[in-house]
Chains A and B, each alone.
Chain A
Amino acid sequence: MTWSATARGAHQPDNTAFTQQRLPAWQPLLSASIALPLFFCAGLAFIGLGLGLFYSSNGIKELEYDYTGNPGTGNCSACALADQDRAPPLRCSCSWYFSLPELFPGPVYLYYELTNFYQNNRRYSVSRDDTQLSGLPSALRHPANECAPYQRRASGLPIAPCGAIANSLFNDSFSLWHQRQPGGPYVEVPLDRTGIAWWTDCHVKFRNPPLVNGSLALAFRGTAPPPNWPRPVYALSPDPNNTGFINQDFVVWMRTAALPTFRKLYARIRQGNYSTGLPRGAYLVNITYNYPVRAFGGHKLIVFSNISWMGGKNPFLGIAYLVVGSLCILMGFVMLVVYIRYQDQNDEDEDEE
C-alpha cells in the first residue's frame, strides 16, 4: 500500500540546461537583414558565374557528324544498309569529309556519340562482373551470374569479359586525315588513344589477370571472347599496356552512361603539329563501320570538341545560372517592396497602439 508517487519521485529532477530544455541555442529568424542581402548576393553571384559559364561555353567549338547512315545521308548509308540484320557485322568503311576554315583550337578531342542507346538500363548495367575485370584469376573462369546470358558460351567456356556491356563494345574505328593544301595528299593526324579513361579505372578497377609465362594470351586460356567480338580480349590492341581488360576503349565503354544519349571519348589529338589544334584545311575521317544501331533507332555521331576550365560545351549550365540569378534578383526586389510596405504598415499599427 505504500506504493505511491512519493516513493517513486523522491528525488527532484536535475536542474540542468538539458533536462529543463534551456540549452543555449542560436535562434535564427528570417529577417529582412538576412534574407534580402542573401537574395541579392546570390543573384549577383549567379549572374556573374552564369556570364562566365555562358561565354566559356560559347567559346568552345564543336563539330559533329551523324554517320549512322540513314538513307540519303552521306556515304555511310551503304554500310548502314549492309549491316541490317547482321550481327556481328562485316567490315565496312565510309568516310566523312569536312574542311575547317580556320584553326580549331586545341587540344581537340574526338568523341563518338550514341543516341537511344540504353546503357543505363538496369539489366544492361548489372550485366558485368567487376571481380573478373579486376583481374582475379578465380573469377576469370567463373563469371558472375549477372552476366547471363553472356556468362558462358554454348561450348561451356566462360566468357571473358562476360556480360552484355562487354559484349556490346563499340567497335567502330576512326582515323583522321588532313589535307594541308587543296589537292594535296591526306596526311594521317595522330590520334592519342591513351589517357581517355580515368586513372582509377585503368589502374584499380580494371586489371589484367596475372600473366602466365609472360603471356597475357595464356592467362586468358580457357576463356572465350564475348559472342560479338571478332577477337579475344587480349588482342584488343598490340600495345601490351593497353590490351586485355585495361584496354582504354574497353574501359571507357565499361563506364556506362547515365543517359540514353551519351558521348564517349575516342581519342585526343595533341601530338605533333596538332597539339595546338587542327589547322585549317580539308579533313577526312575514315570510319570503319561495324556497329549496328539502326535496328533500335539509334544514331552514331563523330564529335570534335575542345574544352575549357569547366569541360566541354555546356550551354545549359550558363543559361541556368543566368536565369536563376535573375530570378533571385527579381525575387529580392519583390521581397524588398513587400518588406518596405509591410514595414510601413507595421509602423502605422504601432502608432495606432
Chain B
Amino acid sequence: MLSVFCSGEVVCEPPNNKLDRFSGTLYWKESKFPLSNQNMLLRGCVLRNTEWCFGLVVFAGPDTKLMQNSGRTKFKRTSIDRLMNTLVLWIFGFLVCMGVILAIGNAIWEHEVGMRFQAYLPWDEAVDSAFFSGFLSFWSYIIILNTVVPISLYVSVEVIRLGHSYFINWDKKMFCMKKRTPAEARTTTLNEELGQVEYVFSDKTGTLTQNIMVFNKCSISGRSYGDVLDVLGHKAELGQKPEPVDFSFNPLADNKFLFWDPTLLEAVKMGDPHTHEFFRLLSLCHTVMSEEKNEGELYYKAQSPDEGALVTAARNFGFVFRSRTPKTITVHEMGTAVTYQLLAILDFNNIRKRMSVIVRNPEGRIRLYCKGADTILLDRLHPCTQELLSTTTDHLNEYAGEGLRTLVLAYKDLDEEYYGEWAQRRLRASLARDSREDRLASVYEEVESNMVLLGATAIEDKLQQGVPETIALLTLANIKIWVLTGDKQETAVNIGYSCKMLTDDMTEVFVVTGHTVLEVREELRKAREKMLDSPHAVGNGFTCSEKRSAKLTSVLEAVAGEYALVINGHSLAHALEADMELEFLETACACKAVICCRVTPLQKAQVVELVKKHKKAVTLAIGDGANDVSMIKTAHIGVGISGQEGIQAVLASDYSFSQFKFLQRLLLVHGRWSYLRMCKFLCYFFYKNFAFTMVHFWFGFFCGFSAQTVYDQYFITLYNIVYTSLPVLAMGVFDQDVPEQRSMEYPKLYEPGQLNLLFNKREFFICIAQGIYTSVLMFFIPYGVFAEATRDDGTQLADYQSFAVTVATSLVIVVSVQIGLDTGYWTAINHFFIWGSLAIYFAILFAMHSNGLFDMFPNQFRFVGNAQNTLAQPTVWLTITLTTVVCIMPVVAFRFLKLSLKPDLSDTVRYTQLVRKKQKAQHRCLRRVGRTSSRRSGYAFSHQEGFGELIMSGKNMRLSSLALASFTTRSSSSWIESLRRKKSDSAGSPSGGADKPLKG
C-alpha cells in the first residue's frame, strides 16, 4: 500500500532531545517538501477525531525525541547506605590496625616471654621465630576480631527496610478509596531517605491538579453568580452544599456539570439579554470541536480544558454549541438552532492573551466577541462602562482571591463597511512576506478596541485533594518545593497561587523569561541584588540560620523575606548551562518557591541533577506522566502518582500512591520514622559489635597476644544471630518516638533528618566510643575482680571458663539493657524479643554446659558444668551487676542531662504529651494563612496557539472528523489501543489518499 512511497527519501537532523524543533526535507518524485515540527508526531501522541492517517516513522525506539529525553536509570542508594559502606571500610581499617598492634605484641611477647616459656609451651613446628609467630597471630586476630565488621548489618538493614516498605503498603491512610489504590513502596532500599528530603520537585498537571477545569463563578454585567448560598442567603460553608442546579429543562445538558447558584439559571430563563449575550459569547468564541455520535450526545474536543469548561457551561445554560464548519457555527440557543456565520477567528497567543471571533448573526449583524486576560482586556473597553468596570474588577479580585482563573468577556458591534475594510487589511497583512505576525497583531489590535464589557468568568483548576495543606505542611517542615511543569507560565503561576506556594505576602516574585544568555544572567543578577538589598527585618526571620550555617553556600540563603522565582523553559536552558548553573541555583535556593514552566522532560531531570549535585541535599521528584520519568529517575527518590493515567511514571518510581496529599504522610510519618529507626538501629548495631569484639583486644594483652578468645566459641557464633539480633530488629521495625499525629502537627520534627543529625560520622564515633568504653569495662572489671578471687568454697574462681561465662553474661545483660534504653516504643513484640533474648541466652548457656551434650561430644562442649558452678557464685553476680551499672549509668545520666539541658523537639513533644495529655491548640505550628490575593488572569489555553487557523482553513473538515494531534502521553493505554485499532483499520482499508501528507 505504501509501495508508491518507496522512492521517497527523508533527510533530517540526527536524533536529539529537542521536543519543539525538527528540520528535515522529504524528497519524493523529484520534488522537495520541507519538514518542520508541524509535521512531526511525537512518540506517545494520540490521534483524535481521525479514523486513520499515513505517517512515516522517522525515529524509532531509543532514537525518538521522547526517549532521548528520558534519563538513564541509575541504581539508587541512600546516603546512609553510602555512609555505611564508608564506615564499614573504616572499621575494616580499624580491624587491620588492631591486628597489626596485636601481631606486634605477639612478636614481642614471643620474643621476650614465649621463647623462655617453651619448656611448657613449645612453639609450633612451623614457627621458627617470634616474627613469624606475630605474622600468624595477625591472621588469627583478623579472624577473631572480624565481628567488628558487621556482616549481618546488611542483612538486618534490608530486613528493616522491608518491614518499613510493608508498613507503607499497608497504610490505610495512604489508600485511596476512590481509586482503590494503596500506596506502594516499589523499592525497599530508600525508606530512610524519605526522612531526609529537602527538595521536592513536583509536576503540576495530574500531580498538583486534577487537570479538570470547572466553571465555578461568573460576573455578568455587574452581578456575581456562583456563590453557594444557604437558605438565609449567607455564604455556606463547605460540607453543607445544597442541591446543585437542575438542568433538566435542557435535553442537551451535560449532566456531569454541576453548578450551585440557581439565580444564574433564573436569569437565563428570565431572558436577561446580558446573560444571554454572555453565554452566546461562550458558545461562539472558542476553538472547540464538537462531535455528535448520536442525536443529543455531544462530545467536545477542546484543546485546553478551560475552553471545554466554558463551552460546557454555556451548553448547560441553554447555549449549546452544536457543530461548526469552516464558515459557520451552529448554536442551539434556548432550544432553537441558530447558525452564525464565522467571519474571522483572531486567535490566541501568548502576547495577545485574548482571542476573538467575528460572527454574523442570522439577522446580518456583525459582532466581535472577545475573551481574554483581564489585564489586557480591561484596557480595551469602551470608556462608557466605567461603573460596570469597577464592579467587575471587584468581582475579579474576589475570584482571584479564591484562586480561580479569570477571563473577561467583551463584545463589540461592527458595521458592514468597517468590517469589509478591516477584512481587506487583514488579508493584506496575512499575505505580507516579512513580519507577518506583527502586522496581523496590529490589525487585530485595531479591531479589538472600544469593546463593551459583558462580564467575567472564573474557572477553577481543580487541585488534587489536600494540595495546599500538604504544601503548607511540607514548607513548614523545611522542605522546598519546586514545581517543574510543561505548562505555560500563567497556568503555572496560577496554580502556584492556588496551592499556596506563592502568596501575596511574598516580598517579590521574580520572573525570568529572558531569551538569551545575557538576559537571563541579568535577570538572575537583579533578583539576587533585590534579595540582598531588602531590609533584613522583613519576614518571619531565619531563626535556624545559625544552626544551619554549615550548610550555607552563600549569604543568599540567609536572605530575609520571602521570594519566589518563576523561570521559563527557554531561560532555563540558558540557566542550566555550565557557567550559569551555580548562579541560577543560588538564586533559586534563596527563594521560597520556584516554578519552572514550559520545561522539557530532560530539563526537569537537569534541574533535579543540578540541585542534587551542588546542594548535597536529598531530592524527591513526584509526577504522574511519562514526561516526569526522567526526573523521577534522576532524583534520589522518585514518586509516581498512580491510578491517574498511564503507568510509566509509576513504573519508574520508587514509591507510588494516588494522591499528592499522601506525600506528607510518606515523608513526615513514614520517612521520619524510617530514618529514626534506621539511625537508632545503626548506632546500636555498631555499639553492640564493638562492645562484643573489643574485649578480645584487651584480653590479648593478658594472654600473650595468642589470639585466645574471651568467650566460648558458641557464644561468639550465637551472639549476633540469636542473643542480640531480634531486639534491635524489633526496635528497627517498630520504634516510634512520637505518634504519627504529632509528626504532622509539629513539622519541625522532620528537620533532624534533613540535617542528618541522627546518624553521621560524629554519631558513629560516639557509638564506637560507647562500645569501646563498654568493652573496656567488660574486660577490666571482671579482671580486677577475678585476679585473686576464690569461690565461696575456696576453690579457684579465675579459671578461663568462668571468666568467659561472666564476661559473656554481663555483655548480654548490658546490651539488653542498652536496647531497652534505646527502645522508645515497647510493643508486645519488643517485650517478647528483649526478654526472650535474655531467656534464650540463659537457656542455651545451661544447655551447652550440660552433662548430656558433653557426654556425646566431649571435645565440642568443654564448658560442661560451668554455668551452674559459675553463676552460683555471689561474686560473679556482683561483678555482673557492677559491670552493668558502670556501663549503663553514664548513658542514663547523659540522656537525662541532654533531655534537661538540650532537649530535641521530639523529646519535648513526648514530654509535653506525657505531662499534659490534652493537646494545646496554641502549640500547633500550622499557620492558616489568610490570603489576600491580587488578581490573576488565567487565559489558560495550554501550550500553543489555538486552532483558529486550522478551523478557518477548513483543512480539518475535509474528512468527516478532525485530525488533531496533541502530545498526550498520559493516556498511554488508550493511545496504544487506538494506535492498534488504527493500524488494523488502515491495513484493511483500500488504498487512497496514501500520498496525502498529514497536516496539523
Query: In the complex, are the beta carbons of B794 and A263 less than 8 A apart?
Result: no
Query: In the complex, are the beta carbons of B121 and A23 less than 8 A apart?
Result: no
Q: What are the nearest 3 A-B pairs in CB distance?
A: A200-B865, A312-B790, A258-B803
793-832 of chain B: CB within 8 A of chain A: 793-804, 824-830
Proximity string of chain B (890-909) to chain A, C-beta cutoff 8 Å, 1 when within and 0 when not: 00110111011100000100
Residues of A within 8 A of B828 (CB): 23-24
Given A197-B795, A307-B794: A260 and B702 interface contact (C-beta under 8 Å):
yes
Nearest B residue to A131 via CB reads: B858
Query: In the complex, are the beta carbons of A263 and B788 less than 8 A apart?
Result: yes
864-922 of chain B: CB within 8 A of chain A: 864-865, 868-869, 873-875, 878-879, 882, 885-886, 889, 892-893, 895-897, 899-901, 907, 910-911, 914, 922
Query: In the complex, are the beta carbons of A263 and B878 less than 8 A apart?
Result: no
Query: In the complex, are the beta carbons of B647 and A3 less than 8 A apart?
Result: yes
Query: In the complex, are the beta carbons of A118 and B794 less than 8 A apart?
Result: no
Query: In the complex, are the beta carbons of B864 and A12 less than 8 A apart?
Result: no
Distance of A342 Cα from B882 Cα, bound (Å): 31
Given A39-B889, A87-B119, A198-B865: A14 and B170 interface contact (C-beta under 8 Å):
yes
Residues of A within 8 A of B650 (CB): 5
Query: In the complex, are the beta carbons of B901 and A338 less than 8 A apart?
Result: yes
> Is A107's beta carbon under 8 Å from chain B?
yes
Q: A258-B799, A295-B117 are in contact. List 11 more A-B contacts (CB 8 A).
A: A1-B976, A5-B181, A124-B120, A129-B859, A200-B868, A255-B801, A256-B800, A305-B790, A311-B792, A331-B889, A335-B897
Distance of A26 Cα from B125 Cα, bound (Å): 61
The interface stretch among B197-205, B274-282, B779-787 is B779-787
Nearest A residue to B977 via CB reads: A1
Distance of A19 Cα from B734 Cα, bound (Å): 11
Distance of A26 Cα from B798 Cα, bound (Å): 41
Nearest B residue to A1 via CB reads: B973
Query: In the complex, are the beta carbons of A309 and B734 less than 8 A apart?
Result: no
Proximity string of chain A (306-326) to chain B, C-beta cutoff 8 Å, 1 when within and 0 when not: 011111111011001100100
> Is A160's beta carbon under 8 Å from chain B?
no
The interface stretch among B171-179, B336-344, B581-589, B956-964 is B171-179
Instruction: Give 5 CB contacts A-B under 8 Å.
Output: A15-B172, A21-B734, A258-B799, A297-B113, A311-B792
The interface stretch among B33-41, B50-58, B703-711 is B703-711
Query: In the complex, are the beta carbons of B800 and A124 less than 8 A apart?
Result: no
Query: In the complex, are the beta carbons of A125 and B800 less than 8 A apart?
Result: yes
- Chain B nearest CB, measured from A166 CB (Å): 11
Given A27-B825, A258-B800, A263-B796: A324 and B786 interface contact (C-beta under 8 Å):
no
> Is A10's beta carbon under 8 Å from chain B?
yes
Nearest A residue to B907 via CB reads: A29
Distance of A324 Cα from B119 Cα, bound (Å): 43
> Is B643's beta carbon under 8 Å from chain A?
yes
- Chain A nearest CB, measured from B887 CB (Å): 11
Distance of A310 Cα from B977 Cα, bound (Å): 87
Residues of B within 8 A of A167 (CB): 120
> Is A259's beta carbon under 8 Å from chain B?
yes
Query: In the complex, are the beta carbons of B117 and A29 less than 8 A apart?
Result: no
> Is B184's beta carbon under 8 Å from chain A?
yes
Count of chain A residues with a beta carbon within 8 Å of a chain B beta carbon: 108
Residues of B within 8 A of A261 (CB): 787-788
Residues of A within 8 A of B882 (CB): 317, 320-321, 324
> Is B656's beta carbon under 8 Å from chain A?
yes
Query: In the complex, are the beta carbons of B790 and A263 less than 8 A apart?
Result: yes
> Is B754's beta carbon under 8 Å from chain A?
no
Question: Which of A21, A31, A35, A256 is the most central at the interface, judged by chain B CB atoms within 10 Å of its CB?
Answer: A21
Nearest B residue to A23 via CB reads: B827
Nearest B residue to A252 via CB reads: B796
Query: In the complex, are the beta carbons of B175 and A12 less than 8 A apart?
Result: yes
* 8 Å CB contact of B171 from A2, A20, A136, A338: A20
Query: In the complex, are the beta carbons of A46 and B892 less than 8 A apart?
Result: no
> Is B224's beta carbon under 8 Å from chain A?
no
> Is B77's beta carbon under 8 Å from chain A?
no
- Chain B nearest CB, measured from A255 CB (Å): 5
Distance of A29 Cα from B906 Cα, bound (Å): 11
Query: In the complex, are the beta carbons of A19 and B184 less than 8 A apart?
Result: no
Query: In the complex, are the beta carbons of A262 and B706 less than 8 A apart?
Result: no
Residues of A within 8 A of B791 (CB): 311
Query: In the complex, are the beta carbons of B911 and A29 less than 8 A apart?
Result: yes
Chain A residues in contact with chain B, CB under 8 A? 1-6, 8-15, 19-21, 23-32, 35, 38-39, 42, 46, 49, 53, 87, 107, 109, 111, 116-125, 127, 129-131, 133-134, 136, 144, 149, 164, 167-168, 196-201, 204-205, 252, 255-265, 268, 292, 295-297, 305, 307-314, 316-317, 320-321, 324, 327-328, 331, 334-335, 338-339, 342, 353
> Is B775's beta carbon under 8 Å from chain A?
no
Nearest B residue to A35 via CB reads: B896
Distance of A292 Cα from B119 Cα, bound (Å): 9
> Is B862's beta carbon under 8 Å from chain A?
yes
Count of chain B residues with a beta carbon within 8 Å of a chain A beta carbon: 107
Distance of A123 Cα from B650 Cα, bound (Å): 61
Nearest A residue to B910 via CB reads: A29
Query: In the complex, are the beta carbons of A168 and B120 less than 8 A apart?
Result: yes
Distance of A32 Cα from B173 Cα, bound (Å): 36
Query: In the complex, are the beta carbons of A257 and B896 less than 8 A apart?
Result: no
Query: In the complex, are the beta carbons of B788 and A122 less than 8 A apart?
Result: no
* 8 Å CB contact of B826 from A19, A28, A313: A28
Question: Which of A9, A13, A122 is the most central at the interface, judged by chain B CB atoms within 10 Å of its CB?
Answer: A9
Query: In the complex, are the beta carbons of B117 and A296 less than 8 A apart?
Result: yes
Question: Which of A3, A199, A292, A316 is the most central at the interface, judged by chain B CB atoms within 10 Å of its CB?
Answer: A316
Query: In the complex, are the beta carbons of B827 and A24 less than 8 A apart?
Result: yes
> Is B740's beta carbon under 8 Å from chain A?
yes
> Is B642's beta carbon under 8 Å from chain A?
yes
> Is B30's beta carbon under 8 Å from chain A?
no
Distance of A314 Cα from B875 Cα, bound (Å): 9
Proximity string of chain B (174-201) to chain A, C-beta cutoff 8 Å, 1 when within and 0 when not: 0101011110100000000000000000
Distance of A320 Cα from B707 Cα, bound (Å): 29
Query: In the complex, are the beta carbons of A19 and B167 less than 8 A apart?
Result: yes
Nearest A residue to B643 via CB reads: A5
> Is B736's beta carbon under 8 Å from chain A?
yes
Distance of A198 Cα from B796 Cα, bound (Å): 9
Question: Which of B656, B708, B828 is the most central at the interface, judged by chain A CB atoms within 10 Å of its CB?
Answer: B708
- Chain B nearest CB, measured from A152 CB (Å): 14
Query: In the complex, are the beta carbons of A13 and B171 less than 8 A apart?
Result: yes
101-118 of chain B: CB within 8 A of chain A: 113-114, 116-117
Given A26-B826, A310-B875: A21 and B702 interface contact (C-beta under 8 Å):
no
Query: In the complex, are the beta carbons of A118 and B973 less than 8 A apart?
Result: no
> Is B124's beta carbon under 8 Å from chain A?
yes
Query: In the complex, are the beta carbons of A204 and B854 less than 8 A apart?
Result: yes
Distance of A31 Cα from B915 Cα, bound (Å): 10
- Chain A nearest CB, measured from B570 CB (Å): 36
Residues of B within 8 A of A111 (CB): 790
> Is B244's beta carbon under 8 Å from chain A?
no
> Is B789's beta carbon under 8 Å from chain A?
yes
- Chain B nearest CB, measured from A213 CB (Å): 25
Given A13-B172, A257-B799: A307 and B792 interface contact (C-beta under 8 Å):
yes
Query: In the complex, are the beta carbons of A20 and B784 less than 8 A apart?
Result: no
Query: In the complex, are the beta carbons of B736 and A339 less than 8 A apart?
Result: no
Query: In the complex, are the beta carbons of A310 and B911 less than 8 A apart?
Result: no
Query: In the complex, are the beta carbons of A6 and B175 less than 8 A apart?
Result: no
Distance of A324 Cα from B855 Cα, bound (Å): 43
> Is B503's beta carbon under 8 Å from chain A?
no
Residues of B within 8 A of A310 (CB): 792, 874-875, 878
Distance of A38 Cα from B177 Cα, bound (Å): 50
Distance of A197 Cα from B869 Cα, bound (Å): 11
Given A164-B121, A200-B865: A338 and B897 interface contact (C-beta under 8 Å):
yes
Query: In the complex, are the beta carbons of A122 and B914 less than 8 A apart?
Result: no
> Is B725's beta carbon under 8 Å from chain A?
no
Distance of A20 Cα from B736 Cα, bound (Å): 13
Residues of A within 8 A of B167 (CB): 19, 21
Query: In the complex, are the beta carbons of B875 and A119 less than 8 A apart?
Result: no
* 8 Å CB contact of B878 from A49, A117, A197: A49
